[in-house]
Amino acid sequence: MNTKCDISSLIQYKPIEEIENIIQKVSPFANPFTAARGEILRYTAGNKPHCYLLHSGSVTLNRRGDGMVLNTENAPFVLGVSNQYASNGNLYLKVVENAQLSRLSVERFNLLTESYNLWRDLSYLMIYNVSRVYAHITMISQMSSYDLIRFQLQELMDEPDAIRLNTTAANYIMNRTYLSRSGVMRILSVLRNKGYITLQRGVLVRLDALPESLVG
């Protein structure tokens, strides 16, 4: 199973046109704001579920308690509508690149979806979200420790510089997997010593084609 291909290839299917249409129709009824890198955004406000329109920047979806990163999304995107019936207290958003967003209640979003007949666009967004989640779960459950690190390094190298240059490779990997720091550092050390990667103060600055398996 080529997990790198399975997950990364989904990006090309991101329904940009449909997402932008949703944002265009809904944003006049939402409250715009700017969020700085590192800021935490909750899905509830005043005991009501809320959603976010991401106009620019990047955010991660994190699990409350251990901070596990479940997903990373870049603008444009709509967050908080796919999981509106779940317990949103278990999830939060973290800004990883200064972002422009708008916020509105899920109730209002649903009413606007009905008024503007955005169901088709919303279904494309939902399908994309479900596909990303399925691919992520499959990756976590089937890959070896080295495969996970190999995949995450490739993902990190593809991130915008604002993200890649502001986090260490070890932290990026550990925030997205269940791997221990010692295990991650051991494999990174082997890759660095063999010349496959270059790290500067822990930050990934160069990545060559990584081997399918690692000995050492």
Q: Considering the chain, what is the average pLDDT of its residues?
A: 90
The domain 3-141 belongs to what CATH superfamily?
Jelly Rolls (2.60.120.10)
pLDDT at 88 over 70: no
Average pLDDT over residues 172-189: 94
Q: Would you say 104 and 131 are in contact if contact means Cβ atoms under 8 Å apart?
A: no
pLDDT at 25 over 50: yes
Give the residues across from 213 on adjacent strands: none
pLDDT at 6 over 60: no
Instruction: Locate the domains of the chain by residue range.
Output: 3-141, 144-207
What separation in angstroms does the CA of 106 have from each of 110, 115, 150, 189?
6, 14, 38, 46
CA distance linking residue 157 with residue 148, whole number of Å: 14
Average pLDDT over residues 124-147: 84
pLDDT at 4 over 50: no
pLDDT at 85: 75
pLDDT at 5: 44
pLDDT at 3 over 70: no
What separation in angstroms does the CA of 108 have from each of 26, 27, 45, 100, 197?
9, 11, 13, 20, 48
pLDDT at 81 over 50: yes
Q: Which residues contact 51 (CB under 8 A, 6 or more apart)?
A: 43, 78, 79, 80, 81, 84, 103, 104, 105, 106, 109
More reliable by pLDDT, 143 or 176: 176
What pTM value is reported for the model? 0.79
pLDDT at 2: 46
